[in-house]
Chains A and B, each alone.
Chain A
Amino acid sequence: MREAHVVGAGQSKYGSFPDESYRSLFRTAVENTMASVDDGMDVDEIDEAVVGTLGVGGRQLGLPGPAVTEHVGLHGVPVTRVENACAASGYAVRQAVQAVRSGMADVVLAGGVEVMTDLSGDAVRYWLGVSGETEWERMSGTTFAGVYAQMASAHMREHGTTKEQLSHVAVKNHDNGAKNPKAQLGFTCTLEDAVNAPAVAEPLTLYHCCPTTDGAAATLVVSEDVVEEYTDEPVRVAGVGAASDNVGLFQRDSYNSVPASRMAGDTAYERAGMGPEDLDFAEVHDCFAIAELMSYEDLGFCERGKAGDFVESGATRMDGDLPVNTSGGLKSKGHPIGATGAGQVVEAFDQLKGRAGDRQLEDPRVGMTHNVGGSGGAAVVHIFEKEEVDA
């Protein structure tokens, strides 16, 4: 099985862009991606594309893949649309790795796009409802925030996690996002801001929830056979793991963890021959603050039930032992559903290439991305390693 490497990654700015279309956002992401390749690449060198998206402005499109690839001049290649809710483009990257490793392609563009701010708040809730368990959970009157709030209630009850500890996630991620020029919410907040913000779904406040976002992100995954044509310092895909679980929280064994994350993480570690102790940083799925805390435990960053203490200790801040969400995460950077997973890979690529600007970590070698679909029905984890290719 061939090795797969990331040689380029880029994204649009995340936010609300009334004058942009999903195609133009994707074009920006692809242009930035192509520009990020050390030794350059032309669009016609791409063999295949995989595009993650849930819908465009609440609309369902049958062929969003070709719609965006034709727009960037990618003609005639196979294009697949991947839909796994918020994990759509994380799975798109995984599919690109599969295509490369299997020998079916040497250069694959994997990305995603979403336009969410065209819709009223009501319509967004209608639309996002399709990503949850629609026949039972949705009919109980709950939303995504509600399901994650239920997880938070169970975590608090079981492990004594506090609202302040949830708020530490928001403070950290806003601190990081303020240093990211692509972030949607580039401001900082205090612990008091986060604790005392209006409740969205108890115990989650506004600062414990990510915004709705427009944006696009893309990556270029290439085989070991051609990687030297593009860079001397590729980012190797060291491990990939993915897993699924019951879509409904009520059908799972645990309400205070995301088992699919744990399974995906275990697989990624095993394939990479690494463990959490080998990571220099991680981008995890923090659609809600409790999601980030559960990821610490599911991915082995800390013991089960200790995530609250772990974030409070500062371990996941930029200067901590394991910086998490240096991009600002979904909380500050934004969460354009179909683009989120690929956007995490953009941050990992930038960190490993030393291009993360004011939020650059000191010589990181190994980073992880962790992308969750819905409230945990799907999860995908990638481990990336900075690697030098012999000249």
Chain B
Amino acid sequence: MTRGVLAVGAYAPANRVPAEAFEEAWGSFDAPGVETKAVPDADEDALTMGVQAARRALRAGDTDGRDLEFLSFASTNPPLAEEDLTPRLGSYLAVPTDTTRRTHTGSTRAGAEALFDALEADGPALVVVADCPEGEPDDSREHAAGAGAAALLVGDDAPATVADHESFTDPRPGTRFRQRGSDDVDGLDIGTYDRAAFTEPVEAAVASIEADDDFEAVALQAPNGKLPYRTNLENEAIAAVETVSELGDTAAASVPLSLARAFEEGHDRTLAVAWGSGAGATAFLVEGTAPVEASLEGTNELNYPGYLRRRGDIVGEKPDGGAAHVPVPTWRRSLPQRHRHESGVCPECGAVAFPPDGACPGCRSLVEFDPVEPALEGTVDAATTIGQGGAPPEFAEQQARQGAFGVAVVRFEAGDGEVSLPMQVVGDGGAVGDTVRAVPRRVYVEEDVPRYGLKALPQD
């Protein structure tokens, strides 16, 4: 019985901004080696990206969230600085309430730490690593900052195992940090000091690994597209699986994403090295490969103003109000519906109810519904587009950042019946008859509390 990685899922936002857009706006681009970078949509963050990756990992591993005995989440940029997000993550995945949970943050090594935590645990475990660092618009770290998520399903009898792992630390404060209360990653930008803070721990950790240096793939932390190649590791092996050139700096998710790429391309001996500011590095040797379901393609190229809009730099605050306010306790009662569209089957007549409370829509009886989860793909039965300025005020900021969006009534199969739900459509698409897929997105933030739900993504 060998515990290791059973399957991997990977996800990146569809938005891409090319380096040229920065050069046109700033006269230069300060993230060498980054050709394009992934930009979270206005309603995406580390949690929603993490759910996307997690769903893919579970599918690739033919596993259900209900079977998990361990769940961890890692990110340097969680949507809330203090709140355990694994309950919300677990809710999306229907993870049992008594499953052990861990959160790792505070360093770009958080993803690797989460993996080793899961390897030490018992039973099926899921490690979800998602990140979307930010910086000041004119800062080199912001020029590099990307977004993405990877999830590693860990368990026994795994096709990919960790043969050895070693860590090395050496105090190098100021190389990469985020001040308390700030959204922006910063650094002192002391050239040789910064470079040594990266290369020396990486090389020291790798040197401790008991293995020869014959690696086809090196999944190395990539704060930008240049620094990894300043180490003494084989450049071709780094280039073979790097994601920084197309996704940008994905921080804690950088190594797991490269590992996903290594598996996807069939490399069965991968050296992974996670670096974290502070400074320290963890190197581990992965033998074998695991099934991967990944969607890392960029389908929507942004210009620079479009990128700033997504970031929220050039939009105003949402207006005051709240007449249709839904309090958090009310919201919380409906989380199985928000996260999984959980519906109910009437034991009397078999009709499907959403939400599964109140009188049955079929026979009007007051019954206790049997839970059923609708399919993720559905069909649009009624639709419109809410144009710029026409959204309810709670959605004004999102609309300012993202533009017009569609809203639709979508019909999903649910058990032996069907259920219809109102859904926001990602982008302004969605016509009657279209097929859409339910994807996790942030609905809005009110009273400083992010609310998450499902939105409809048109399928080709």
Which positions in A face B, CB cutoff 8 Å?
Answer: 58, 120-123, 125-127, 129-130, 132-143, 145-146, 149-154, 156-157, 199-204, 246, 248-251, 255
Contact = CB atoms under 8 A, between A and B. Distances in A.
Interface of B: 319-324, 326, 330, 334, 354-355, 361, 381-387, 389-396, 398, 405, 407-409, 420-424, 431-433, 443, 451, 453
A156 B432 CA distance: 10
Given A126-B393, A202-B385, 5 more contacts: A123-B320, A126-B324, A141-B386, A143-B391, A249-B409
Given A125-B393, A150-B407, A154-B381, A139 B453 contact: yes
A129 B392 contact: yes
A246 B320 CA distance: 29
Contact of A140 (B387, B396, B422): B422
A120 B392 contact: no
B381 A255 contact: yes
Contacts of A139: 326, 422, 443, 451, 453
B352 to A, nearest CB: 11
Contacts of B409: 150, 154, 249-250, 255
Closest 7 CB pairs of A and B: A129-B324, A149-B384, A126-B321, A150-B382, A122-B319, A140-B422, A142-B407
A146 B319 contact: no
B391 A154 contact: no
A249 B383 CA distance: 12
A129 B453 CA distance: 19
28 contacts: A120-B319, A122-B393, A122-B396, A125-B391, A125-B393, A126-B392, A130-B323, A132-B324, A136-B355, A138-B324, A138-B392, A140-B408, A141-B398, A141-B407, A142-B407, A142-B424, A143-B390, A146-B384, A146-B386, A146-B390, A150-B384, A151-B382, A152-B384, A204-B384, A249-B422, A250-B420, A251-B420, A255-B382
B407 A130 contact: no
Nearest to A127: B323
B330 to A, nearest CB: 7
Contacts of B381: 154, 255
B386 A249 contact: no
B54 to A, nearest CB: 23
Given A141-B391, A143-B386, A154-B382, A251 B361 contact: yes
B384 A202 contact: yes
B404 to A, nearest CB: 9
Contact of B422 (A122, A142, A203): A142
Given A126-B321, A250-B422, A200 B432 contact: no
Contacts of A121: 389
A201 B387 contact: yes
B433 A201 contact: no
Contacts of A203: 384
Contacts of B384: 142, 146, 149-150, 152-153, 201-204
Q: Is chain B's interface secondary structure helix, strand, loop, or mixed overall?
A: mixed
A316 to B, nearest CB: 25
Given A129-B323, A153-B382, A200 B390 contact: yes
A274 B61 CA distance: 66
B433 A136 contact: no
Nearest to A155: B382
Contact of A58 (B323, B408, B421): B323
Contacts of B407: 140-142, 146, 150
| Residue among B319, B383, B409, B432 having the largest count of chain A Cβ atoms under 10 Å | B409
Contacts of A146: 384, 386, 390, 407
Contact of B324 (A134, A157, A200, A249): A134
B424 A141 contact: yes
Contacts of A201: 384-387, 390
Contacts of B424: 140-142
Nearest to A255: B382
Nearest to A126: B321
Contact of A123 (B319, B394, B431): B319
Contacts of A126: 319, 321-324, 392-393
A150 B456 CA distance: 15
B321 A123 contact: yes
Given A126-B324, A157-B433, A250-B409, A135 B330 contact: yes
A143 B386 CA distance: 8
A154 B392 contact: no
A133 B395 CA distance: 16
Nearest to B410: A250
A121 B391 CA distance: 11
A145 B390 contact: yes
A149 B428 CA distance: 14
A127 B394 CA distance: 12
Nearest to A140: B422
A146 B386 CA distance: 7
A58 B322 CA distance: 11
Which among A126, A139, A199 has the greatest number of chain B C-beta atoms within 10 A? A139
A198 B109 CA distance: 51
Contacts of A130: 323-324
A120 B443 CA distance: 23
Contacts of B396: 122
Contacts of B354: 250-251
Contacts of A143: 386, 390-392
A122 B389 CA distance: 9
Contacts of B355: 136
A137 B321 contact: no
Contacts of A120: 319
Nearest to A137: B422
Nearest to B419: A250
A250 B421 contact: yes
A197 B396 CA distance: 23
Contacts of B326: 134-135, 138-139
B325 to A, nearest CB: 8
B422 A157 contact: no
B422 A248 contact: yes
B390 A136 contact: no
A255 B423 CA distance: 15
B221 to A, nearest CB: 38
B49 to A, nearest CB: 20
Nearest to B399: A141
B421 A142 contact: no
B321 to A, nearest CB: 3
Contact of A150 (B393, B405, B408, B451): B408
Contacts of B386: 141-143, 146, 201
Nearest to A133: B422
Contacts of A149: 384
Most chain B CB atoms below 10 A, which of A140, A146, A246:
A140
A16 B400 CA distance: 29
A140 B398 CA distance: 12
Contacts of A250: 354, 409, 420-422
A140 B422 CA distance: 6
Contacts of B423: 140
A272 B422 CA distance: 38
Contacts of A150: 382-384, 407-409
